[in-house]
Amino acid sequence: MAARWRNAAGKIASLAMIFAITAVSAEGILELMLRFPGYIPNSMMPAMRQYYYAEDQRYIQYLPDCAKYDRKLTYTLKPGSCRFSGREFDTTVTINSLGVRDNEQSLQAPEIFVLGDSIAMGWGVEDDETFASIVENETGIKVLNLAVSSYGTVREFDISNRADASRLNTLIVQYSHNDLEENKTFVDHGNKLPISGNNVYETTRRQHLDQTKYFAGKHVLWLVRRLVGSLFASAHAQERADEAKYFFSVLFTKFDELSQRAKLAPHSTLVIVQRLPWPAEISRAALARAQPRPDAISRLFVLGYPTRRGSGYPLDQHMTAIGHREVGEQIIKIVRDKCYLVREVKEAEAGQQFPECRFFLDEL
């Protein structure tokens, strides 16, 4: 009997050892994947991205050194500078007195506003690498980058109400599909957006920071939970049929408010930057059909996600400096080189009259 128990105990010990070695190996492999995303198999990339954003990456809006509570916007960035890093980047973010990522000089009568979320803010790139900075530095036109991580279209416009719009003539609005929830909430509440109190923000901040802390075995534990959860999950696709409707409703309501406050001249320029990198059924034609005041925005452009190699981080998916450069160059073709004028001449002649705008013909 004793020999039988010793034999059983030995087998259990061996199985435990095998399990421990397997778990440690799996944890190490997953950690290596997170550190070197370029080697993640395509089949595993969706799961690794989900883990990265749910359990690994800290959001700038919850970092005590980078953000603070705001009773009308939930939060803004915190004036000063802070370090913001991830698996694929390590950056310094400089924040002005308004609570946005730009310098103090840009607050004084800018001609261009950039509205958006983490993408336009420059998540993953340095201050001078954002497309807002590129446009300003290469055109000499003053640009104010008002983009803040996780803002939807509503708060993007609301923070612009705090900025000097006395010389504003061009508005750049970067759209992501995760703006839908905020836009829908605004419209469903009679064009009002409920804002959480400071206690809710601080609780969410604390929970986020706790959740993104690492502990031994965290990667494997999450993977096991995900596999088990997938066995009981019911497959359903999120309904996004009304995404464009909510965006248009917010866009033109807020644009009308801004144009009245800023006394924007007729035919001001509006640039929509979308599909960065999430898909949204928003096109130039759809915008034109939905536009309630064609006289207010005659110069309307829709720019797409960068296509150059290396324009986005493999795991994080935000734009790299290469991606920001491509978007910046397209915007420069509009605000400085006036490429929209090719619409007023025959396409055959446009290449001769506007040689610097040849690539832009594909956008028309």
Tell me the pLDDT tens digit for each residue of 87-96: 999 999 999 9
Contact indicator for 254, 161 with CB cutoff of 8 Å: no
Q: What is the full DSSP assignment across 288-321? A: HHH-S-TTT--EEEEE----STT-B-TTT-SB-H
Length of the chain: 364
How many angstroms separate the Cα of 234 from the Cα of each of 230, 231, 237, 240, 241?
8, 9, 10, 18, 21
| Cis amide linkage into residue 277, ω under 30° from 0 | yes
Judge whether residue 19 has pLDDT over 70: no
Planar angle of CA 179, 183, 189, nearest 5 degrees: 150
Give the long-range contacts of residues 189-196, CB within 8 A, separation 24 or more. Answer: 191/253, 193/154, 193/155, 193/158, 195/71, 195/72, 195/73, 195/74, 196/74
Let me know: does 258 contact 165? Beta carbons within 8 Å.
yes
- Residue 139 pLDDT: 94
* pLDDT higher than threshold 80 for residue 47: yes
Q: What does the pLDDT average to over 71-83?
A: 98
Q: Could you tell me the domains of the chain?
A: 111-194+240-363 (3.40.50.1110)
Task: Using the structure block, give the residue that is written with the tokens 């261009």.
Answer: 112
Q: What CA–CA distance (Å, rounded) separates 305 from 319?
A: 9
Banded model confidence at residue 9, pLDDT cuts 50, 70, 90: low
pLDDT band per the 50, 70, 90 thresholds, residue 228: confident
- How much is the average pLDDT of 63-70? 98
- How large is the average pLDDT for residues 235-258? 75
State yes or no: pLDDT of 221 exceeds 60.
yes
d(Cα 142, Cα 220) in Å, to the nearest integer?
Answer: 49
Q: State residue 240's pLDDT score.
A: 60
Distance CA(131)–CA(112), nearest Å, equals 12
Model confidence pLDDT, tens digit, residues 138-191: 999 999 999 999 999 999 999 999 999 999 988 999 988 889 999 999 999 999
Of 58-62, 221-225, 342-346, where does the model show the most confidence? 58-62
Mind listing the pLDDT tens digit for each residue in 96-127? 999 999 999 999 999 999 999 999 999 999 99
Please check the confidence at residue 211 and state whether its pLDDT lies above 70: yes
Average pLDDT, the chain: 83
Neighbouring C-beta atoms of residue 233, cutoff 10 Å: 9
Give per-residue pLDDT as tens, 284-343: 556 655 555 555 555 667 777 787 889 999 999 999 999 999 999 989 988 887 776 655
Pick the closest to residue 321 from 135, 125, 38 (CA basis): 125
pTM assigned to the model = 0.86
